[in-house]
Amino acid sequence: MSVTAPLEPPSKRDSAEEIAQDVAAVSRLQAVPTLLEVLCDITGMRFAAVARVTENTWTACAVKDDIHFGLEPGGHLDLESTLCIESKRSNAPIVIEQASTDPRYSNHHTPKIYKIESYISVPIVLSNGRYFGNLCAIDPAPASVRDPKILSMFTRFAALIAMQLDSEMSRQEDQSQLRNAHAVSELREQFIAILGHDLRNPLQAVYSAGALLEKKLADPALKGVAARIKVSVKRMSSLINDLLDFARARLGEGMGLRIAEVDNIDAGLNAVVKEFQDGQPEREILANISVTCKVRCDLGRVQQVASNLIGNALKHGTPQGPVKVTAQAEDTELVLNVWNAGDPISPENIGKICEPFWRESASGNREGLGLGLYICSQIVRAHGGTLSVTSTKESGTSFTARLPLDANHLDHDAGNARPH
């Protein structure tokens, strides 16, 4: 037997790639050839197939062909020439024992086109409700297929194929996610390498050149230019450091910590205050730092928190008002607080200020990337602590970081804390 209707390519409205993936998924189901063999043996029909059926295409996914129908897996039929599209639209089986005498199908175009007498087709519906296609069988001779047991067998086989397809597609999705995870990991490594090396090295060279020029030049104006070069490089280096921390926190590595016992954390925090005071002598920074015990923490990271909070207070606080920095030990916690006067943070934005790249739109100061408070929150969280903020017109704005005095309870990889 040969097909008299023309084979057709997939409709342009369907994704050829998606259909090819579905055909491949069925080809990986080892039970399908056996199921088609069993259907043909029990019914006496000599052609059986699993077809992918959409509103636009009919595609063979698996075929048992003992009548030389001329269709291979991946082959396509004119959708409207088939009965599968009617089964899809009604979501019901179609069973024909002898088309030439059947009251409904004796004049139907499908049996005439393909010169068939017997036909049976049942829907294959996946667990998510997606109509995949049909399990069907045909023969040019009549066949006794109206027996409810035959239809039940087809229905159960179709359900079995659907279950196996669900499992196969889930497995493929898992593999795809794994490949994507590997790709993200590689991208992360490249991104961090660029930030940590390829950008930092040229900046260091520019900074060194600026420092050399500032030292060698006699002209005050030119020395000022050299000094501004150094300041700009420091600012760019700070931005790169923020991006590097953000990349580590968001792309998988987490906020790395090096926990050690710090005998005198006061000196480390006072050094941060002095750096700001030296850089902005016109501003008043009142420090009351008195931690009278040892602290197990990452000192550099705690200094980074203090630096970001103080810098944020100087930037957004009242220029004529002071910035207050306090630190002390309370029970089992190191409590670091930074306060400033000025316009309060609006209540609707309190919960957003630690989000990455967020800055209050009303603020006139748009310097930086909006990562400082996010990085602070991640460092504090990695230590097992909390960062809170209160802000009102009457009492000013106050950021409070609470960190455990003893970070021994943290796992070795505790620094890999990630945002929730």
| DSSP of 183-234 | HHHHHHHHHHHIIIIITHHHHHHHHHHHHHHHHH---HHHHHHHHHHHHHHH
Using CA atoms, how far residue 213 sits from 205, 210, 236, in Å, is 12, 5, 19
Q: What are phi and psi of 375, to 5 degrees?
A: -65, -40
Q: Report d(CA 420, CA 417) in Å as an integer.
A: 9
Q: 91: which 2 tokens?
A: 């979501």
Write b or e for each residue in 150-178: b if 16 or more Cβ atoms lie within 10 A of its Cβ, otherwise e.
beebbeebbebbbebbeebbeeeeeeeee
Query: What pLDDT is stored for residue 415 in this prediction?
Result: 44
Return the bridge partners of 386, or none: 402
Q: Report d(CA 193, CA 150) in Å as an integer.
A: 64
Query: What pLDDT is stored for residue 254 in this prediction?
Result: 63
Strands in 84-197 per DSSP E: 94-96, 118-125, 131-139
Amino acid at 206: V
In the predicted model, residues of the chain with pLDDT beneath 70 are: 1-14, 185, 188-200, 235, 247-254, 358-369, 407-420
Query: What pLDDT is stored for residue 87 in this prediction?
Result: 92
212 by Cβ neighbours in 10 Å (0-12 / 13-18 / 19+) ranks as: exposed
Q: Report d(CA 265, CA 293) in Å as an integer.
A: 9
pLDDT digits (tens, 9 = 90+) for 259-315: 999 999 999 999 999 988 988 889 999 999 999 899 999 998 999 999 999 999 998
237 by Cβ neighbours in 10 Å (0-12 / 13-18 / 19+) ranks as: middle
Write b or e for each residue in 83-119: b if 16 or more Cβ atoms lie within 10 A of its Cβ, otherwise e.
bbbebbeeeebbbbbbbeebeebeeeebbbebebbbb
Q: Do the beta carbons of residue 290 and residue 330 sit within 8 Å?
A: no
Query: What pLDDT is stored for residue 9 in this prediction?
Result: 47
Give the predicted TM-score (pTM) of the model. Answer: 0.49
- Report the run of H or E that residue 261 belongs to, with start and end: strand 260-262
Query: What pLDDT is stored for residue 73 in this prediction?
Result: 94
Tokens 């501004």 sit at which residue?
228
Sheet holding 76-77, edge to edge: 76-77, 58-65, 47-53, 131-139, 118-125, 94-96
Query: What pLDDT is stored for residue 125 in this prediction?
Result: 94
Pairing of strands 260-262, 333-340: unpaired
Query: What pLDDT is stored for residue 258 in this prediction?
Result: 87
Query: What pLDDT is stored for residue 245 in this prediction?
Result: 73
Query: Rg for the chain (alpha carbons), in Å?
Result: 36
Q: Report d(CA 213, CA 417) in Å as an integer.
A: 43
Tokens 């579905």 sit at which residue?
22
Q: Report d(CA 221, CA 217) in Å as an integer.
A: 9
Query: What pLDDT is stored for residue 231 in this prediction?
Result: 76
> How many other CB atoms sit within 10 Å of the CB of residue 257?
22
